[in-house]
Structure 1
């Protein structure tokens, strides 16, 4: 399954005015207080909003072009915290440090995705990744070093475990991949305020969650804060929560997070790559009503393509028309 690779090399974080109280850590049940008025819906979560994201840039362009109504709709994306995907195969440090510095000034948590595992995506739309195991270890080390003692939540390697289970990743790479994921969790967790969630696919992909248990355990899930589900997919909150609770039970009560960035209208049957008619889902929040479900997050950046399918550009490329459709179809 393709995944975006949002290159942050050009990130120019603009240091927002820190006019709000420090937000709660992920997993805390308290609601953000009076500062919730500062950013509307986004302030109900403890996560940092990237002021230079593609939706924000598109809004500025459309405003100059006289497309005020479309620009206003796109604020439904631009005003929400979305995970950052530092480019693989290059030093992630500068991008990570820029984002965490801005988030720290606001007392907020930065969302990241670490996505550079060797043999990534089985050669599909988001193929690539580190050249070999040692290159991956160096990349994760640079990533972790850049996090420092900032508040961060890292989604670790979307698809990596599910591709072991479904057989897409050749068997000769399985043991190495599980070892690298294990090491990555250990390295990232050396950072005192970093939470790590190892990706576990989605309910429509690995329908029997029991098949995930052994590879997740070999990959070090015991040392992670939990697992992530529905990254870049469209399964409904209800479906994913039920699946997550079942998997959590098989893993001794491990917590989990859910990607709700594009699941507002649920999935389109047999379509996962830029399906039409989709909508934004539950805005990012740590208030989930379920103790084992730590957060609803926007892990996939809404409006970035799944790949050259359904009329879309290459994986990870910004697609303003699709972003606008997601926003227009949403009730927020």
Structure 2
């Protein structure tokens, strides 16, 4: 028990104890403020901006592969017509270390941000440089862990520099849905954590890979997403990226995931699903069509539809296609045959 106070007198606190106590209190206050500030900052970065929604205007990038193909194709040809039509559509730009390496990626993001500002549009980018990307399949590649940390840090710095531009970031398509097949979920979650920490900021909406409705059952996909430990730090998930599933099925899948995961949101890739899937074929299936444009649909869970995979770019060396990501004139003509 402490000392009893003398009747009629005041208890005197020794000066050293008072000073030391004050220091402890101040240090504790500072530490508490720092913790609260960090939490508030994270929450603000995640929730402050107006979310993407129906009728969202997405930037039309002037350096897309479609735009370059339109300039190089013979005037009046079907190839030129298809490429020009696709080049005019609001579409996600893919940042890859092969095209936008470490010493160039900041400038690329700054240029894209300036385009979005000029067009009064939302910037949409896919970040695609994860170590062991695509597990050695058609889109194999990516950076080593240290280079990936620096590359994503430069992307994040450039995005934060464009504080007046709203940004949608599709983070590492296929990275989570493909994780079990690669046997590297723990490592991938660590890389994704690095990327999220480097990229997030005010008016920056990050969507993790959520696969699609014909890949993992919703319960299984929800477990994979939980295992990353990132759901409180991102807006939601990107569905149907580079795939062909019907939009209605993806909306239902998005709602199921949202119910399982406490209300997360989603965006849906509609760039090539106008004719629906071709069975289980995912690599350059023939007879496909472009789908509903970016910003066409949305609800209380699906923030917006978005052209994420640029139509006209190959899925890989399959069904007659060139290397993954390469412009393929035949595909561009086929996909746009009912639209242009």
Q: Same fold (TM over 0.5)?
A: yes
CA distance in 1, matches of 2:249, 2:136: 29
Of 199, 205, 225, which residue of structure 2 is paired with 1:195?
205
Total equivalences in the alignment: 284
CA contact (8 A) 1:116 1:130 kept: yes
User: Which segments of 5 or more consecutive residues in structure 1 lack a partner in the other structure?
Assistant: 1-23, 30-43
Query: Runs of 4 or more off by more than 6 Å in structure 1?
Result: none
CA distance in 2, matches of 1:125, 1:163: 13
CA distance in 2, matches of 1:180, 1:128: 15
User: Is 1:102 matched up with 2:102?
Assistant: no
CA apart distance, 1:25? 5.1
> Which residues of 2 match residues 194-213 of structure 1 at below 5 A?
194-206=204-216, 208-213=217-222
Of 178, 181, 194, which residue of structure 2 is paired with 1:183?
194
Deviations 1:122-177, CA, capped at 9 Å, x for gaps: 11011111112x3222121111011122321100111111112xx3212xx32121
- Specify the alignment match of 1:137 in structure 2: 149
User: Which segments of 5 or more consecutive residues in structure 2 lack a partner in the other structure?
Assistant: 1-48
Of 269, 278, 301, which residue of structure 1 is paired with 2:279?
269
User: Is 1:127 matched up with 2:136?
Assistant: no
CA contact (8 A) 1:77 1:302 kept: yes
> Which residues of 2 match residues 253-292 of structure 1 at below 5 A?
253-285=263-295, 287-292=296-301
CA contact (8 A) 1:25 1:46 kept: no
CA distance in 2, matches of 1:195, 1:259: 16
> Which residues of 2 match residues 303-322 of structure 1 at below 5 A?
303-322=312-331
CA distance in 2, matches of 1:28, 1:274: 30
Q: Is the alpha carbon distance of 1:308 and 1:174 closer, same or farther for their aligned partners in structure 2, counting shifts above 3 Å?
A: same
- Specify the alignment match of 1:4 in structure 2: none
Q: Is the alpha carbon distance of 1:298 and 1:154 closer, same or farther for their aligned partners in structure 2, counting shifts above 3 Å?
A: same
- Specify the alignment match of 2:41 in structure 1: none
CA distance in 1, matches of 2:130, 2:274: 30
CA apart distance, 1:210? 0.9
Larger Rg belongs to: 2
Could you say what the CA RMSD is over the residues aligned between the two structures, in angstroms? 2.0
CA distance in 2, matches of 1:99, 1:289: 25
Q: Secondary structure of the residue that 2:263 maps to in structure 1?
A: coil
- Specify the alignment match of 2:235 in structure 1: 225
- Specify the alignment match of 1:161 in structure 2: 176
> Which residues of 2 match residues 74-113 of structure 1 at below 5 A?
74-88=83-97, 90-91=101-102, 92-113=105-126
CA contact (8 A) 2:294 2:305 kept: yes
Q: Secondary structure of the residue that 1:160 maps to in structure 2?
A: coil
Q: Is the alpha carbon distance of 1:289 and 1:224 closer, same or farther for their aligned partners in structure 2, counting shifts above 3 Å?
A: closer
CA contact (8 A) 1:100 1:110 kept: yes
Deviations 1:34-84, CA, capped at 9 Å, x for gaps: xxxxxxxxxx5321101232222333344x5432x6544444422111111
Of 59, 70, 74, which residue of structure 1 is paired with 2:70?
59
